[in-house]
Structure 1
């Protein structure tokens, strides 16, 4: 994937990994459009970065997605990179006796249906380009779950499988389908503590390593996975699944 001269749409681009990618790609001279739920935050980000465009989007609202699509089709017909990045994570304890389906429903609606809706909306525009890239943000937890986040991890496992099928379906079209699988990164995904957790990878370090892999075309099977996360990716094949699961999920 070339990293300059693109027109890029990033959902969930006002915070965390999405924002870090948006800023890094904007610095490389790309036209970047970001979406998010907070119009004031979008305005503040774009005010600091002339040429960047922010569009409010509520993925669970079909009318909101339709409005964004109308703007993008009209103003950015050369869109050739889509990063379906918006996602949420919430801890769940089914053993507590107080579980209800509200958190799980929100995760499924954003992490699964939100990605599917986004891809379906903008894929026709991508296929008009001579070369395009579709990226979706999964997680290294798609391969080996953190048990305190059951629906979140399952949503990313769903996304991994879905992207494999999508990649096959689009194999004769000029659209590369890539899966980003971040490790534990310093963002606010699970709350304020994660953003400063020294065990988490600094978000800028993650983004720079991913950009280097994209520039080199280092994404076998369409998976953009850091070297340190290969052990989890192949734990089942390597016979280390139980041992790594136990380390991640102590008694």
Structure 2
């Protein structure tokens, strides 16, 4: 992905990683459209004078995705990048169905079905562009599980494999598939996450991401240094120790 000269749509960018990334991509000379469910947040972003465009979208609603896609393409026919940022992360208790089933279903609809709907809505247009990119957003937890969030982990593993598969299918087209793999980042994704001492500061994360896109335009996975501990545990042969460290467990199971 080239760092500048793009028209980029980022659903799920009214806060956190999405909004910070939108601002930095705008500063690099891109036209950026941010999407989100809450009109009051979109109105605030539009009123800030940052040059970001806005559109309302709820990726859990197929009709909303279709409507937003038409609105974006009508206003920005040169769109050539989508970043499927929208996602949720929830703690689950699998000791009883009442403790996890509703949350698990919401997570899959948002984190897996949402990106699939987005890609489906834009793929025909992107294939018509001379140079286009689909950037998916997985997680370090796609590769090393966090005990408290089983379905989130599974949803991000699904996004990783979806990205790998789409890259194979689109290899002969003009569309690149790039996977962004965040570590823990200090955002409001989960309660208390913004104060998590083990999470990466948001500005540091986004600055490193922008630097990687700029220095490695042909990269298929965007990995800041902090995520590699989780990403490559199995390849290094220390997967059990990585799982134990992440979950604060004794690696010997005691």
TM-score past 0.5 threshold? yes
Find the counterpart in structure 2 of residue 67 from structure 1: 67
TM-score by length of structure 1 reads 0.95
Q: 2:234 is matched with which residue? A: 236
Moved more, 123-132 or 31-40: 123-132
Distance 1:60 1:227 in 2: 32
Counterpart check, 1:223 vs 2:241: no
Deviation at 1:73, TM superposition (A): 1.8
Give the Cα–Cα distance (whole angstroms) in 2 for the partners of residues 199 and 233 of structure 1: 16
Deviations 1:161-204 (Å, cap 9, x if unpaired)? 1110000000001111000000110100012x111223211111
Post-superposition offset of 1:56: 1.1
Q: Find the counterpart in structure 2 of residue 249 from structure 1.
A: 247
Compute the RMSD of aligned alpha carbons: 1.5
Listed one character per residue, the Cα deviations across residues 60-110 of structure 1 (whole Å, up to 9, x for unaligned) are 212211111111121111001110010000001113674241100000000
Determine if contact 1:137/1:181 at 8 Å carries over to the other structure. yes
The structural deviation recorded for 1:111 is: 0.2
| Alignment partner, residue 14 of structure 1 | 14
The alpha carbon displacement at 1:2 in A equals: 2.0
Q: Which residue does 1:44 correspond to in 2?
A: 44
Is contact 1:127-1:174 (8 Å) kept? yes
Distance change >3 Å, CA 231–CA 200, structure 1 → 2: closer
Residue 152 (1) aligns with residue 152 (2): yes
Counterpart check, 1:33 vs 2:33: yes
Structure-2 change in CA distance of 1:218 and 1:240 (3 Å)? farther
Give 1:217 shift. Answer: 1.4
Distance 1:67 1:156 in 2: 26
SS in structure 2 opposite 1:95?
coil
CA contact (8 A) 2:163 2:177 kept: yes
Matched-pair contact (CA < 8 Å) for 2:55–2:72: no
- 2:252 is aligned to none
Give the superposition deviation at 1:25.
1.1
* Number of corresponding residues: 249
Alignment correspondent of 2:197: 198
**Contact preservation (8 Å) 2:137, 2:179:** yes
Unaligned runs of 5+ residues in structure 2 are 250-254
Partner of 1:81: 81
* 2:207 match: 208
Runs of 4+ residues deviating >3 angstroms: none
Change in Cα spacing, 1:159 to 1:29, as seen in structure 2 (3 Å) is: same
Deviations along 1:183-238, whole A, 9 cap, x unmatched? 110100012x1112232111111111011111111665x11111232232221122
- What residue ranges of structure 1 are gaps of 5+ in the alignment? none
Matches within 5 A, 1:158-177: 158-177=158-177
Q: How does the TM-score come out when normalised to structure 2?
A: 0.93
CA contact (8 A) 1:13 1:36 kept: yes
